[in-house]
Amino acid sequence: MASIMDIFNTQVSQKDDTVTVTYCHDLYSGSCTYKLVTLQGKKLRQEIELLVSSDMDDILECLYKMGEITGPDCFNKIKGEIINHSLLQVQSRNK
């Protein structure tokens, strides 16, 4: 499914247990940083991606100037798209 975030050049980089997704478009850039965490129970082991920081002010400004953000409802929708898109990038980094 196409996302408004697909207009940005995306780069995924990993150092140890930290994965950063960087977005760029013209002079605008931003990033979302995830920590890879392993939860261990008696019989279950699960790896999760935890969003620990997001610096997307330039990206939001770019989307606003492009007319993609026109009010609070659009802002909340875009915020959700940023989280979903960046998480998908993290999860598909080794595939």
Q: What is the pLDDT of residue 72?
A: 82
- pTM for the predicted model, two decimal places: 0.89
Look at residue 44 and tell me if it is in a domain: yes
Domain extent, residue 21, equals 9-91
pLDDT higher than threshold 90 for residue 36:
yes
Q: How many structural domains are present in the chain?
A: 1
φ/ψ region of 67 (left if φ > 0, alpha if ψ in -120 to 50, else beta) reads left
Residue 16 contacts by C-beta under 8 Å, 6 or more apart in sequence? none
pLDDT higher than threshold 70 for residue 77:
yes
Give residue-wise pLDDT tens across range 12-30.
Answer: 999 999 999 999 999 999 9
Look at residue 3 and tell me if it is in a domain: no
pLDDT higher than threshold 70 for residue 95:
no
